Structure 1
Amino acid sequence: MQNAKLMLTSLAFAMGLAALAGCSFPGVYKIDIQQGNVVTQDMIDQLKPGMTRRQVRFIMGNPLIVDTFHPNRWDYLYSIQPGGGQRQQERVSLMFNANDQLIGLNGDFRPGVSRDEAILGKEAGPASTSSQTQQQKPEQPKEQPAKPGSVEEQLQREVDQIKTVPVPTPEPLEKSPQ
């Protein structure tokens, strides 16, 4: 009788522990779940039209999706679900031409636009700098011009000759099947 009572008590205790193991207690740490390619605004800002697939892969990493039906399109997806929070997802699609050169991008990022500034309603660029932000910045020492014939001068000359080209935004894909 003693043995049966002890066995029933230990069995009830074990079942209670197993039931509590599935419960979620407040204050218990839950891990963040990240999936896909991490894409930052800095990576997008480095992309230029005419870059080869190899150069794009060096900057962005391997694409998450290379579609068999659209071989000239790479898709980068990233999702994060903070421990127990709402899932957030970002997407970027890069388009290439027949010569394997970058011709456009589409998605949640735009070249040269910080998403934080866009959310806050601020414009990026020199027009948005106010006197307060200029006062907060420490003064930069004045740069000395490079010596004639030096490597610095050659690099500066090459940088000055670069012409910027805006990245064209491709037309949206058709949503109705044919």
Structure 2
Amino acid sequence: MQKLTRIITLSVSIAVISGCSYVGVYKRDIPQGNLVTEEMVDQLQPGMTQEQVTYVMGRPLLEAPFDAREWDYVFRLDKAYAGVEQRRVTLTFDNQGRLANIEQEGDFSQDIPLEADSTGGPATDTTDPTEAIPNQPRQNTTPSTTN
């Protein structure tokens, strides 16, 4: 009977421990949208053309579907072990396509640290794509001359 009690206690303990995330699950920061910094917004001046704004800020994430004069730049960072940080810049253009109004939401005073993922990713133009494939035999690419 004592042996059965130990087996049941051990089984219940293992079941409870396996269901708990005591160690935790790996989480990573998830950035979404246009990265908008204070330096970018400081470069904006009323009267700039849409092309000049695109050069400074990039293409907007959202263009109002019924009014092409309003551009929204939205950036959202879902921090893995903290909260969510959101920034939004809404730019309004006049009828001549000149920047008329700049509205900001969020805290632009701090830089957002974004870590580059150095593990994996697509091959760059300067590398041979076959070098990115592990354990693949390399083929001879020189043409053979057979007569």
Q: Which residue of 2 aligns with 1:123?
A: none
Q: Which residue of 2 aligns with 1:115?
A: 109
Q: Deviations over 1:83-113 (max 9, x none)?
A: 1321121111001001100011112279xxx
Q: Deviations over 1:90-142 (max 9, x none)?
A: 111001001100011112279xxx735xxxxxxxxxxxxxxxxxxxxxxxxxx
Paired residues, number:
96
Amino acid in structure 1 at the alignment position of 2:109: R
In structure 1, distance between residues paired with 2:20 and 2:71: 41
Q: Which residue of 2 aligns with 1:94?
A: 91
Distance 1:23 1:47, change over 3 A: farther
Check if 1:30 corresponds to 2:27: yes
In structure 1, distance between residues paired with 2:80 and 2:45: 36
Check if 1:74 corresponds to 2:71: yes
In structure 2, distance between residues paired with 1:77 and 1:56: 15
Q: Which residue of 1 aligns with 2:44?
A: 47
In structure 2, distance between residues paired with 1:63 and 1:52: 14
2:86–2:106 contact (8 Å) kept in structure 1: no
In structure 1, distance between residues paired with 2:20 and 2:50: 48
Q: Which is richer in strand? A: 2
**DSSP 3-state at the match of 1:78:** strand
Q: Which 4+ residue blocks in structure 1 deviate beyond 3 angstroms?
A: 22-29
Query: Identity over aligned residues, as a percent?
Result: 40
Q: CA deviation at 1:47?
A: 0.7
**DSSP 3-state at the match of 1:88:** strand
Distance 1:106 1:84, change over 3 A: same
Amino acid in structure 1 at the alignment position of 2:32: Q
Q: Which residue of 2 aligns with 1:65?
A: 62
Q: Which is richer in helix? A: 1
**DSSP 3-state at the match of 1:94:** strand
Q: Unmatched 5+ residue regions in structure 1?
A: 1-15, 117-178
In structure 2, distance between residues paired with 1:80 and 1:40: 13
